[in-house]
Amino acid sequence: MKKKSFIIRTMVLVAFIALFIKPMISLAQDDVMTLTREAGYEIDDSFRPKASIIIEAEEGQILWGDNIDTPLSIASITKVMTAYLAFEAIEKGAFTLETLVPVDQTIVDISNIYSLSNNKMVLGVDYSIADILTLMLIPSSNAATVMMSNFISNNDEAAFIDLMNETAQKLGMKNTTYYNSSGATAASFEGHYSPKGYDPDGDNLSTPRDLAILTYHFLKKYPEVLEFTKNPTVTVLPGTEYEETFETYVFSVEGAKYGIKGMDGLKTGSSPSAGFGYIGTAKRNETRLIEVVLGVGSWENQDGEEMRHPIGNALIEKAFKDYDYKQIVDKGDELTLPQQVKVLEPLVGLVEKGNKPEFELEGTQLSLKSNRESVIANRKEKAVPVELVSKKKKEKSEAKSIKKSETKDHDQPQKLESSSFYKLKTIALSLLSFLLFLLFMVLANFIGKKKKPGAKTIFFIGIFALLACLYFMVKAILL
């Protein structure tokens, strides 16, 4: 009977551990829906995104990630790659933003397909490349997108899709496949667009990581794209009888319905297979962030068109709250690492607010130590030159530092204990506490069977060991 009682007590304790730890893990991982509600947005769980990512735009470091390598349908987010190839063609001298492209009958026919997002196209009207880009990126016109891809490829539809896939691979977008230039399946164009050799029902697929990579390179090479996406409303062919004005679908840009500070782009996408998603980017001070949110809600509930933005806003606001990309060390500063060194150039980098940065010194090169993964392959930490401070210089420097510290706190970063080592140590303490808990439980059971005194005392010591285990486990999760 006592054995049965011991087993029951142990099972109850294990259940308690599961119930206690699960919410703590969820909290430590910052559940996306919890963050959204804490940011003040009332939102139903049915709009939970399938995947998301946030990176900083200078070095591509990942600040948030959820299913970042899961291939998903991207719908009109596809147009970002088509726009990237347009800017690349401009860079190569193929045409300029002022180059005029006349509307042909194929484009008119596509513009009249009701099921596709479009603008009004009139046969023979000339649109500048800048106008076509605006139509692609703001009202998400499929007619304008095909117009652009055909112009770049000299009407070789398949060659342009080849170029999209080749460029994706060059950029490191390993899990991306394109079947069309706009995000709508070729079959939905009613015969007016059909790249040879590509499945007409093929759905363009990508991942949050890959789309972050594309956006990273886009903003590095052609930051002027944001001039096309930063405004809540745009007008093409102004002052003519063909003038059209559109409101952005990126409701998070400044001035729009869910506008937040610094948001100046970039592109949304939605379809029956994709649900609702978007790429956004925002800059505050010297920190620019890129976010990708995919698979929000379902096509049956069109509220997803709006709900993707509160989710994205909550994630990017948290990232701005937690991180800064800024100058960390001034020129002329001296650090002990453990040698005394003088920094010859300012060092900038990403720092987590509230934490002192750590440094690495290789020869005469000083860099910021970071354990965060980057979406950019073979990324190297930015380094600045330093010089060793001689003993006499060091003594003078120390005297100056003491005098200076009396009037001003420099908050100079010092090398801290490795966070990964500290986490391993905490996990080890957690496991040790759990083993002690098991040992005391077995011992209490054994003494109880022998009807010797002390069984209850040992049992309660075991409970304390369990509480210690829980403490160290939670501490390890939160590190």
- Told to judge if 140 belongs to the known catalytic residues of this protein, a careful annotator would answer yes
Q: What is the DSSP string of 13-31?
A: HHHHHHHHHHHHHHHHTT-
Among candidates 13, 42, 153, which has minimal Cα distance to 89? Answer: 153
Contact at 8 Å (CB) between 99 and 127?
no
**In one letter, which amino acid is 201?**
D
As a whole number of angstroms, the distance between CA 63 and CA 81 comes to 23
Q: What is the DSSP string of 330-377?
A: -TT-EEESSSEEEESS-EEEEEETTS---EEEETTEEEE-----BSST
Contact at 8 Å (CB) between 141 and 112?
no
Residue with tokens 């991180």: 323
As a whole number of angstroms, the distance between CA 374 and CA 381 comes to 10
Residue 268, number of CB atoms within 10 A of its CB: 25
Among candidates 363, 365, 362, which has minimal Cα distance to 347? Answer: 365
- Told to judge if 46 belongs to the known catalytic residues of this protein, a careful annotator would answer no
**Helices (H), ranges, 283-413:** 304-322, 391-405
As a whole number of angstroms, the distance between CA 236 and CA 242 comes to 8
Q: Give the neighbor-by-neighbor strand order of the sheet with 51-56.
A: 62-66, 51-56, 287-296, 275-284, 263-271
Give the length of the chain.
479
CA R_g for the chain: 29
Contact at 8 Å (CB) between 315 and 64?
yes
Residue with tokens 């948001």: 263
Structure tokens at 26: 């969820």
As a whole number of angstroms, the distance between CA 180 and CA 142 comes to 11
| Residue set of the binding site for substrate | 267
- How far apart, in Å, are the Cα atoms of 28 and each of 22, 34, 235, 475? 10, 11, 45, 10
- Active-site entry in 50, 52, 73, 76: 76
Among candidates 368, 461, 358, which has minimal Cα distance to 56? Answer: 368
Structure tokens at 29: 């991982």
Give, as one character, the DSSP assignment of residue 356: -
- Active-site entry in 79, 206, 270, 430: 79
| Residue set of the binding site | 267
As a whole number of angstroms, the distance between CA 94 and CA 76 comes to 25
As a whole number of angstroms, the distance between CA 94 and CA 148 comes to 13
- Told to judge if 76 belongs to the known catalytic residues of this protein, a careful annotator would answer yes
Among candidates 114, 117, 116, 189, which has minimal Cα distance to 150? Answer: 189
Instruction: Show which residues are catalytic.
Output: 76, 79, 140
